[in-house]
Structure 1
Amino acid sequence: MNGNRAWSWIVILLGSLYFLLPLAGMFEFSMRMKRDGYSFEAYRVVLADPQFQHTFGYSIVLALLTIVLGALIVVPTAYWVRLRLPSARPVIEFITLLPLVIPPIVIVFGYIRIYNTSSILPLTGSWWGTNILTLFGYATLALPYMYRAVDTGLRTIDVATLTEAAQSLGASWTRILATVILPNVLISVLSGAFLTFAIVIGEYVFAALLNINSFGPFMVWMGGNRAYEPSALAVIAFIITWACMGLIQLVTRFSKFSAARR
């Protein structure tokens, strides 16, 4: 047993080094912008760049709108499937897995083909139309993660009993969803929201092909035109992603703690 445990720790250590050493090297390189020693000059330049501030703020707004749109689509759908259409669950799960199978570039070219300026709905010809397409595209990419997070949360509650109790008190379907179901799966929705946020912040294909000035294309442009700033930007993006992962862990632990207290 002691030998197996030692080998397990060795494997964990080697795996950690495999992932952490490149990150350490990238961080060390980003600190060398000044010739006379280490400094955070590259980070200062990146954070002070108006283009960074604009694209990052723009991506945050898109991420928040994507989270709201995803929740509005997924929560009622997952609730109705679990309550009234359990036989349709395999079909819904298959549909929600399609964004993992179909490359984003295929979806984007489909958008361009259907909604170009010569079509009935020329959405790609306007700023608002392009942003709407991008928003729905991001919601599609985040669908597998949001749906599974919400579906897992619905498994932990008695949906039928809660619905019957709310209906006996005269609640409408909208009120049941808003005041009964959503508060009980809020932790799961937040878990899916953090994953959605991480996906939208670093997404490149949709933004580049639809000519959206967001954070993903800015990172690619920076990587092709600067030396030290791209490493600093990659570290910042990595920190943001792992902060989202950490928030998911905190939300999960808080959920377990709240359930234990009940």
Structure 2
Amino acid sequence: MRPKTLVGWLIIVLATIYFVMPLIATLEFAMRQLPAGAARGWFLFGRPHSFDAFLSSVVSPRFQSDFLRSVALAIAAIVFGILLVVPTAYLIRLRFPGWRSPVEFVTLLPLVIPAIIIVFGYSRLYLATPWSPFNKSPFATDVLLTIGYVVLALPYMYRSVDTGLRAIDVKTLTEAAQSLGASSLSILFNVILPNVRSAVLSGAFLTFAVVIGEFTFASLLARPVFGTYLQEIGANQPYEPSALALIAFFITWACMGLIQVIGRPRGAAPAR
């Protein structure tokens, strides 16, 4: 084995240990909770362990309702984000290339402006005024929360879609579709969107990962979601927070894995 190859593998092993050991420690701590009334669980590292923290967290009615609400809000944010970003990025690349830099700057603002400032501005503008439609019901507040999630995920969604559009010839595809009599909506949804499917799915999964773990927006808008549930459990329970943190971690990595699987280019069809 060459010295450079050996050094490379050594770095990979050390990096793996650095990132995996905290997960193992978190898992071991979460498994220290024993079932109620049980004197002992199965032994690991010389002490009893069980998966009771994971089971009690998952079967909790509060966990199920808050997690499902977060999933619903994530799906709504993904749909809203796609409808907002895909036409915008398409028009910028096709007709308004001079607006590309200003739009990129605007989409990066959620990474620069803290989430606490954004949601505080939302609450002062849309919830503290009697004429606002967002303070009439919990559903209306959920709509505002969804818009906030779209803003938070905007840098990831826009970058993903813009990268996908760079990989195709937008102008040629549009002109070819127009020559066949296709309308603008037909071009966008039947020609452009299928060609950037992988990029859109990447942005969608990143949006899902952002929404599942978000706490600031939901907390200040007083909406029960998975992020606020994690915080409340962490303040009142010893072992369940570690279990829920691992569950959220693996959900995020599952999204990353789906990006790799779905975004993988398909093999060329064999020649006949």
How far the C-alpha of 1:2 sits from its partner, in A, is: 2.2
Corresponding residue of 2:20: 20
Q: 1:3-24 deviations in whole A, cap 9, x for unaligned?
A: 2222222222222111111110
Question: Matched residues in 2 for 1:246 and 1:94: separation?
Answer: 29
TM-score using structure 2 length: 0.91
Q: Which amino acid aligns with 1:200?
A: V
Which of 156, 164, 184 is equivalent to 1:173?
184
Report the structure, 1 or 2, having the larger helix content: 1
Question: Matched residues in 2 for 1:261 and 1:147: separation?
Answer: 31
Corresponding residue of 2:143: 132
Does residue 86 (structure 1) correspond to residue 135 (structure 2)? The answer is no
How far the C-alpha of 1:157 sits from its partner, in A, is: 1.2
Question: Matched residues in 2 for 1:3 and 1:119: separation?
Answer: 70
Corresponding residue of 1:72: 83
Question: Matched residues in 2 for 1:50 and 1:79: separation?
Answer: 43
Question: Matched residues in 2 for 1:116 and 1:144: separation?
Answer: 25
Which stretch of structure 1 is more off in the superposition, 155-164 or 75-84?
155-164
How far the C-alpha of 1:232 sits from its partner, in A, is: 0.9
Q: 1:116-164 deviations in whole A, cap 9, x for unaligned?
A: 2434315235312211110110000111111111111111111111111
Which of 38, 57, 69 is equivalent to 1:46?
57
Contact 1:124 1:210 in 2 (8 A): no
Contact 1:117 1:125 in 2 (8 A): no
**1:79-228 mapped onto 2 (5 Å cutoff):** 79-121=90-132, 123-228=134-239
Contact 1:79 1:154 in 2 (8 A): yes
Contact 1:115 1:123 in 2 (8 A): yes
How far the C-alpha of 1:261 sits from its partner, in A, is: 4.5
Q: Which amino acid aligns with 2:57?
A: V
Corresponding residue of 1:238: 249
Which stretch of structure 1 is more off in the superposition, 33-42 or 92-101?
33-42
| SS at structure 2 position matched to 1:171 | coil
% of aligned pairs identical? 55
Corresponding residue of 1:2: 2
Which stretch of structure 1 is more off in the superposition, 215-224 or 172-181?
172-181
| SS at structure 1 position matched to 2:129 | coil
Q: Which amino acid aligns with 1:18?
A: Y
CA RMSD after TM alignment: 1.5
Contact 1:194 1:245 in 2 (8 A): yes
Question: Matched residues in 1 for 2:32 and 2:269: separation?
Answer: 50
Question: Matched residues in 1 for 2:206 and 2:153: separation?
Answer: 8
Q: Which residues of structure 2 form unaligned runs of 5+?
A: 41-47
Q: 1:215-246 deviations in whole A, cap 9, x for unaligned?
A: 00000101111111111111111110110011
Question: Matched residues in 2 for 1:13 and 1:149: separation?
Answer: 30
Question: Matched residues in 1 for 2:195 and 2:136: separation?
Answer: 42
